Structure 1
Amino acid sequence: MKKRRLWFRLIKRGLIGLLVIVIGLGLFFQTSYAQKLFYPYPYRPIVEKYAVQYGVDPFLVIAVIRAESNFMPQSQSHKGAQGLMQLMPDTAEWIAKSKGDKSFTLEDLKDPEKNIQYGTWYLASLQKEFNNTTLVLAAYNGGRGHVQEWIKTQQLDIDHLRVEDIPFQETRKYVQRVLFYYPKYKALYSTG
């Protein structure tokens, strides 16, 4: 009988200790410090430099980078998109031509600074055209021409725009991912 009571006490103490650990971990993961472990902001000076230069929200840029490459500068998609912001080579060459950057080479897509500069410039150009974050992200992923066509054929109603209405599943999921990350980065890293 004494052994049984001893076991019950040990189990009770163990469960209480486990409960204290679980509660402690739960409280820790609610802190902004812990959340920043899950939502890091690498390349912040570069992102902020080009976000200011081109008039793009830096938190949108970092959310795009997170969704596109998960911060891996050597990333390459099965379709050939490269770098942190997963730029297609032909898009990057068009950006270089538009910016008058004669020194650009495709190797530059693996350079974090050049990739972020070009990706942020591209986001800015899409913002000027579409003036709607959902459409900008859909165009960034699915192509400017496709978004123009979806609007023209009324597959997307810009007055009642819903992410669920984006015709390409891959683009729809991409937009949902970025729109999930975007407010988290804004909440964690905005300074005022």
Structure 2
Amino acid sequence: MRLKFISKIVIVLLVIMAVLNAKNIIKYYFPLKYSDYVVRYSKEYNLDPHFVMAVIKTESNFNPDIRSGKNAIGLMQITPETAKWAAEKMNITDFTENMLNDPEFNIKMGCWYLNDLNTEFNGDMKLVLAAYNGGRGNVQKWLKNSEHSMDGQSLQYIPFKETDKYIKKVEVSYKVYRYLYEGNMTSAFLISLP
């Protein structure tokens, strides 16, 4: 009887160790890179840092040197056209395209832009992501089209497959980041802030 009890305890401990190890493996694929900048600018622009991490993971997989086929640059994949417009709105007078290669600047501008979209789309993260990926003008057109929106407030159908897939990827990454770092992510971030 005592041997059975000890065997059950060992099995439970092995399962717990496997679960903890699995979480560490998942953290390898969903890291907290650039966390000091993410926390700083998420806070400044009233965003969830888990959400910003999910956007960066989806956009660039944390590669600050990446440039897309559509000429989007850096961690948050901002196009030079959008950056020039955002720089004007942010009162950045000395903006140059090279600034998008700097991780801190890229995250700051990306967070500003997400916040701007968040304001325009009343906090609807699906619309914010659709606009971030597919363009705010397209989202406004889709909302006015009864094939895409029944109420003019939300989207039932996104005609750009890439945008639809993008939203789903960010949503999954967001859930993973919240699962892995909820409760300790913000404190882990804040440790690295000055």
Q: Name the TM-score, length of structure 1 as normaliser.
A: 0.81
**1:37-186 equivalent positions in 2, closer than 5 A:** 37-131=28-122, 132-154=124-146, 155-157=148-150, 161-162=155-156, 165-186=157-178
Runs of 4+ in 1 over 6 A off after TM superposition: none
Distance 1:67 1:157 in 2: 29
What displacement does 1:28 show? Answer: 4.9
Q: Structure 1 stretches of 5 or more lacking a match?
A: 1-19
- For 2:114 and 2:39, how far apart are their aligned partners in 1? 14
Q: Match for 2:52: what amino acid?
A: V
**1:144 Cα offset (Å):** 0.2
Q: 8 Å contact 2:143–2:155 — kept in the other structure?
A: no
Provide the rounded CA distance (Å) in 1 between the counterparts of 2:81 and 2:60. 18
Percent of aligned pairs with the same amino acid: 43
Q: Distance in 1 between matches of 2:154 and 2:96?
A: 41
Per mean C-alpha deviation after superposition, the further-off stretch among 93-102 and 31-40 is: 31-40
Could you tell me which runs of 5 or more consecutive residues in structure 2 were left unpaired when the two chains were aligned.
1-10, 185-194
Counterpart AA for 2:62: F
Higher relative contact order (CA 8 A, sep 6+): 2
Report how far residue 104 of structure 1 moved.
1.6
State the TM-score, normalized to the length of structure 2: 0.80
In the aligned structure 1, how far is the partner of 2:95 from the partner of 2:169?
Answer: 30
- Shift of the alpha carbon at 1:62? 0.7
Give me the CA root mean square deviation.
2.1
Q: Which has more helix, going by share of residues?
A: 1
Deviations 1:34-68 (A, max 9, x none): 32112111001100100000001111111010100
1:60-119 superposed Cα distances (whole Å, 9 cap, x missing partner): 111010100010001111010000000010100111100111122100111000000000
Structure showing greater Rg: 1
Whether 1:188 aligns to 2:162 is no
